[in-house]
Amino acid sequence: MSGSTAPAPRGLDGVVAAATRMSHVDGLAGQLIIGGYELKELAGRVSFEETAHLLWRGHLPNADELAMMRTEMATLRRLPSEALSVIRAAAKAPPIDALRMACATLSLDLSAPDAISPAADLAAAKMLTARFPTIVAAHARVSRGDNPIAPREDLGLAANFLYMVHGEAPDPIVARALDTYWVTVIDHGMNASTFAARVIASTRSDAVSAVTGAIGALKGPLHGGAPGPVLDMLVEINTADRAEAWLKKEMQEGRRIMGFGHRVYKVRDPRADVLARVAEEMSGAALHDRALFDLARAVEQTALRVLEESKPGRNLKTNVEFYTALVLQSLGLAPRSFVAMFACGRVAGWCAHVIEQHAEDHLIRPQSEYVGPRGLVVDRSR
Q: Tell me: pLDDT of 287 over 50.
A: no
pLDDT of residue 258: 87
Contacts of residue 242, defined as CB under 8 A and 6 or more positions apart, other chains included, come to none
Edge-to-edge strand ranges of the sheet holding 31-34? 23-26, 31-34, 37-38
Catalytic residue selected from 139, 262, 353, 358: 262
Instruction: Report pLDDT digits (tens) over 316-357.
Output: 899 888 888 889 988 989 889 999 999 999 999 999 999 999
- How many Å apart are CA 105 and CA 186, to the nearest integer? 23
Residues 348, 55 contacting (CB under 8 angstroms): yes
Least confident of 9-18, 61-70, 210-219, 357-366: 9-18
Instruction: Report pLDDT digits (tens) over 79-119.
Output: 999 999 999 999 999 999 999 999 999 999 888 989 999 99
- How many Å apart are CA 258 and CA 270, to the nearest integer? 17
Residue 26, phi then psi, degrees to nearest 5: -110, 100
Q: Around Cβ 333, how many Cβ atoms within 10 Å?
A: 22
User: Average of pLDDT values for 190-197?
Assistant: 96
Q: Which pairs with CB-CB distance under 8 Å and at least 24 residues apart come from 161-170?
A: 161/133, 161/134, 161/136, 161/137, 161/344, 162/331, 162/332, 164/133, 164/134, 164/137, 164/138, 165/137, 165/140, 165/141, 165/332, 165/333, 166/332
pLDDT of residue 285: 61
Contacts of residue 196, defined as CB under 8 A and 6 or more positions apart, other chains included, come to 210, 213, 214, 216, 217
Please choose, from the candidates 86, 108, 110, the residue with its C-alpha nearest in 3D space to the C-alpha of residue 99.
86
Q: Tell me: pLDDT of 38 over 90.
A: yes
> Length of the chain in residues, anyone?
382
Q: Tell me: pLDDT of 2 over 60.
A: no
- How many Å apart are CA 178 and CA 95, to the nearest integer? 18
pLDDT level of residue 146 (50, 70, 90 thresholds): very high
Q: Tell me: pLDDT of 248 over 50.
A: yes
Catalytic residue selected from 53, 321, 353, 356: 321
| Dihedral (CA of 180, 126, 34, 262) sign | positive
pLDDT of residue 197: 98
Residue 168: active-site member = no
Across the chain, mean pLDDT equals: 92
Residue 321: active-site member = yes
Q: Around Cβ 6, how many Cβ atoms within 10 Å?
A: 8
Residue 320, phi then psi, degrees to nearest 5: -65, -25
pLDDT of residue 286: 54
User: Average of pLDDT values for 283-300?
Assistant: 76
Task: Between 17 and 329, name the one with better pLDDT.
Answer: 329
All structural domains of the chain, each given as residue ranges with its CATH number in brackets, are 47-172+185-222+345-357 (1.10.580.10)
Question: Residue ranges of the alpha helices (H) in 220-366?
Answer: 221-224, 227-237, 243-252, 270-283, 289-310, 320-330, 338-360
Pairing of strands 37-38, 23-26: unpaired
